[in-house]
Structure 1
Amino acid sequence: MSQLPARRPRFRLRKWFAATGWRHVIGIVFAVFCAFPLVYVLSSSLNPNGTLLGSNTLFSKVDFSNYVNLLFNLPQQPFVAWFLNTLVIGLVTGASTVFLGALAAYAFSRMRFAGRRVGLLTLLLVQMFPQLLAVVAIFLLLNAISNIFPAIGLNTQIGLILVYLGGALGVNTYLMYGFFNTVPASLDEAAKIDGAGHARTFFTIILPLVGPILAVVGLLSFISSTSEYVVASVVLTDPTRQTLAVGLYSFISQATSANWTLFSAGAVMAAIPPMALFLYLQKYVISGLTAGAVK
């Protein structure tokens, strides 16, 4: 009996590359492209020279003096206070956005009232205009509020949180509205038959079922509020109340004293909270982003 000729390895390699191999190549290229800036910033943060030109060779010097200076040796630039301010503002903004957005989305999804469709469209259209266009109006409004209620006016973290809430509720409400529509209305009807009101139905039945979209909205709100610079730089003028985005800019704002490696060390530490929160909510984020678009 004659044996069949063995397939050539080159043929099998071509077949694999034509089927799925090219996807792996593209994925590796994009992974390297995305990871290189992160690796370069990490390498710069470990270089004590203070300039980016001295950090062209990756990890040529490994020194943690930049991190020590950030935490202990810069009283005029309180990095720890900026870090704590950012955490407080981000967490409060994220939690408030989730709670208020969920209430609004539940009302639009389950209740029928005059102006419901117009209200949804208005929320969506208003978000088409960036918050940057309203910086002057925000400053004048908070400055006027400071004369009456100083606790929520200019140069207060509560005032900045209120500004962030006003800019985030629209798009997040619309996003959660699409997810709420995927929850069967029969659950609400069964709860109503058992004597439950809207509040009890919302907190005990609906909220546990929409956990993925709550995690997505909370994560996006946290990231946007902790990385925002323009509004925070206008509202917060006291260095001890500023956020990381505003405070770290002081390291590179002056051309004669720009310390890019110190700025890189601060950027690496500033990336820890969003990364930790993303890893914690990852399983909810994946399901929330996919299910929220299905109606």
Structure 2
Amino acid sequence: MSSTPQDPTDTALADAPLEAGSGGRTPTPGKPRGSVWWRHALALLALAFALFPIVFIVSSAFNNAGTLSTSSLLPSNIGVENFNDLFSDSARPYWTWFRNSLIICGVATVATLFLGASAAYAFSRLRWTGRRGGLLFILLVQMFPALLAFVALFITFANVGNVLPAIGLNTLAGLLLVYLGGAMGSNIWLLKGYFDTVPRELDEAAKIDGSSHARIFFTITLRLVTPILATVAILAFVGLWGEFLLASIFLTSADNQTLAVGLYATRQADQNRYFGQFVAGALIASIPVVLVYLALQKQLVGGLTQGSVK
């Protein structure tokens, strides 16, 4: 039986690879398959928009004119006179504000990690009456704006200060107590979601060896949840470093103010005259936040993603 000869043109068309998404048609020679220039332009525009405030602050900080009216994107008279004026101003103790902010943020961050991790471990690993209701109550409380509690907090700590002056108004300890109470809700949920990803078989094996809940928590669990601890530490430190509303209500004297409150008072004193000192102080104030991010950035993404999908 003889076979019909095959056309060479049909063989060539059959062997030619099909272009994905082209419906079987080969692309026209010389025609770009997809131009992405607008994506690069949009990215450059977003980058310029994000970097403009930073460049302006850095330029104003090193501009010896030191006023808002003479500030520009590129300084004409570069120097460090703004920093000298900031450090030598006895009416505005910048380094005292810096120390207060470091104390409050450092102590509050460590305490937030310990209290949040302890509560999250109890909600994740232990079984007790009211566990589910407690989690829902914490979530419900987070729905209300924090501004609703400011008046109640002010009256409460004003009365507490009459009995215990060390934790009343205009004290760093009183402000720390307020910060610790307000940071528990979201941190507990975030930490619990990550704690649930740790296998319970590790706890059961440790219990067989005679370990208590405290030993399991400190020697096993905390070592396995380092990414989420770093994430919570970043969020807590950055959030408290720039907090202004509560600090401005609780701290009234210049020696007890934080950086946010002190720099705001500097700008309000004379917006044009003290603008150079303001931007110089703001530039130095950004250094701790940048260092914290650089030190813990590897843990940030992993902690947020793994703790939110359980």
Instruction: Provide Cα deviations, 1:44-99, integer angstroms capped at 9, x if missing partner.
Output: 1112333323112423321211112222x111100000001101100111111011
* Residue correspondences, number: 284
Residue 194 of structure 2 corresponds to which residue in structure 1? 179
**Paired residue for 1:149, among 164, 175, 182?**
164
Q: Residues of 2 paired with 1:37 and 1:9: CA distance?
A: 46
Instruction: Provide Cα deviations, 1:71-129, integer angstroms capped at 9, x if missing partner.
Output: 2x111100000001101100111111011000000000011111111111111221222
Instruction: Provide Cα deviations, 1:221-269, integer angstroms capped at 9, x if missing partner.
Output: 1111111111101111121111000000111213576522211111111
Residue 249 of structure 1 corresponds to which residue in structure 2? 264
**Percent of pairs with identical residues:** 49
Q: Residues of 2 paired with 1:104 and 1:180: CA distance?
A: 11
Q: Residues of 2 paired with 1:98 and 1:131: CA distance?
A: 21
CA RMSD of aligned residues (A): 1.9
Q: Residues of 2 paired with 1:160 and 1:26: CA distance?
A: 43
Q: Residues of 2 paired with 1:184 and 1:26: CA distance?
A: 44
Taking a change above 3 Å as real, the CA distance of residues 180 and 167 of structure 1, as seen in their structure-2 partners, is same
Is structure 2 residue 16 aligned with structure 1 residue 38?
A: no
Is structure 2 residue 95 aligned with structure 1 residue 80?
A: yes
Structure 1 spans left out of the alignment, 5+ residues: 1-6
Residue 237 of structure 1 corresponds to which residue in structure 2? 252
Structure number with greater Rg is 2
Is structure 2 residue 79 aligned with structure 1 residue 67?
A: no
Residue 16 of structure 2 corresponds to which residue in structure 1? none
Q: Residues of 2 paired with 1:46 and 1:275: CA distance?
A: 20
Residue 137 of structure 2 corresponds to which residue in structure 1? 122
Quick one: which amino acid aligns to residue 197 of structure 1? S
Residue 274 of structure 2 corresponds to which residue in structure 1? 259
Residue 276 of structure 1 corresponds to which residue in structure 2? 291
Taking a change above 3 Å as real, the CA distance of residues 10 and 24 of structure 1, as seen in their structure-2 partners, is farther
**Paired residue for 1:224, among 239, 244, 250?**
239
How far has the Cα of 1:137 moved from its partner? 1.1
Q: Residues of 1 paired with 2:223 and 2:40: CA distance?
A: 38
How far has the Cα of 1:23 moved from its partner? 4.4
More helix by share: 1
Q: Residues of 1 paired with 2:148 and 2:277: CA distance?
A: 32
Contact 1:127 1:167 in 2 (8 A): no
Q: Secondary structure at the match of 1:267?
A: helix
The TM-score with structure 1 as length reference comes to 0.91
